């Protein structure tokens, strides 16, 4: 067991530096992933938010898409926030017709699901396996999980309001995803949870 595992953050778009800072605060070492050759160096991978259509297009162009799929299939722990959640979904609603995903989590995710009126909002989310009270969820044109396969563990749902009950955090074995952006909070608990997942796999 490695006490400070090296975790890579896909560095195509999004809050890469923020993810690296929180992974380090959570006890891991972290590096950006820019090339396929970076992937075998790390024992876990974070997929940041951003624009999933852009990220997936550039991941294909940069030759990262197939190696990322291979990593997800071969039990490398991966965590996707927001657009990263979309990238880990087997099925997307309201995506572009040609939008590719890494896939691996047996779920259907709806892009920009919360609608225009609630483009961005913050809300406390109770997360399964993450003690210490509700987690401050920051949602920015966020997806939600519309349907899940039998193997999926639901880690969190929206607690109140129009979207009450919607699934916004899931885990499937080595893969985990949240609709919200923990890297934009000072709260390290989600990153700690992921670092622990990586430790247990390493
Ligand atoms: N709406 C974006 C998408 O579809 C996700 C937004 C985000 O990552 N903040 O990719």
Ligand 1 within 6 A of 86 CB?
Answer: yes
Ligand 1 within 6 A of 110 CB?
Answer: no
Specify the pLDDT at position 140: 94
Ligand 1 within 6 A of 51 CB?
Answer: yes
Maximum Cα–Cα distance across the chain: 46
Specify the pLDDT at position 154: 98
Rounded-to-integer distance, Cα 28 and Cα 41, Å: 14
Q: Which two tokens stand for residue 54?
A: 């852009």
Pocket test for ligand 1, best of 142, 146, 179, 181 (most atoms within 8 A of CB): 142
Per-residue confidence in pLDDT tens, the chain, 202 aa:
558 999 999 999 999 999 999 999 999 999 999 999 999 999 999 999 999 999 999 999 999 999 999 999 999 999 999 999 999 999 999 999 999 999 999 999 999 999 865 678 899 999 999 999 999 999 999 999 999 999 999 999 999 888 999 999 999 999 999 999 999 999 999 999 999 999 999 7
Contacts for 173 with CB less than 8 Å, ≥ 6 apart: 75, 151
Q: Which residues are tagged catalytic?
A: 82, 181, 183
Question: Is the separation of the CB atoms in 148 and 167 below 8 Å?
Answer: yes
**Own/partner pairs, 60-66, CB within 8 angstroms, 24+ separation:** 60/100, 62/12, 62/34, 62/35, 62/36, 63/35, 63/36, 64/10, 64/12, 64/33, 64/35, 64/36, 64/39, 65/100, 65/102
């Amino acid at each position: 067991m490695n006490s400070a595992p090296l975790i890579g953050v896909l560095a195509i778009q999004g809050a890469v530096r923020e993810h690296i800072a929180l992974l380090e605060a959570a006890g891991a070492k972290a590096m950006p992933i820019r090339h396929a050759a970076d992937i075998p160096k790390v024992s876990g991978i974070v997929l940041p938010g951003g624009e999933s259509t852009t990220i997936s297009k550039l991941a294909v162009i940069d030759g990262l898409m197939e190696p990322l799929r291979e990593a997800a299939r071969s039990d490398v722990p991966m965590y996707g926030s927001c657009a990263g959640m979309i990238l880990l979904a087997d099925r997307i609603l309201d995506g572009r017709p040609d939008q590719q995903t890494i896939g691996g989590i047996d779920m259907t995710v709806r892009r920009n699901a919360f609608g225009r009126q609630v483009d961005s909002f913050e809300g406390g989310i109770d997360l399964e396996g993450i003690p210490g009270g509700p987690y401050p969820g920051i949602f920015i044109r966020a997806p939600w999980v519309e349907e899940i396969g039998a193997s999926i563990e639901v880690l969190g749902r929206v607690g109140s309001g129009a979207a009450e009950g919607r699934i916004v955090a899931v885990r499937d074995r080595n893969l985990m995803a949240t609709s919200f952006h923990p890297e934009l909070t000072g709260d390290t608990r989600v990153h700690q949870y992921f670092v622990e997942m990586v430790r247990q796999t390493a």
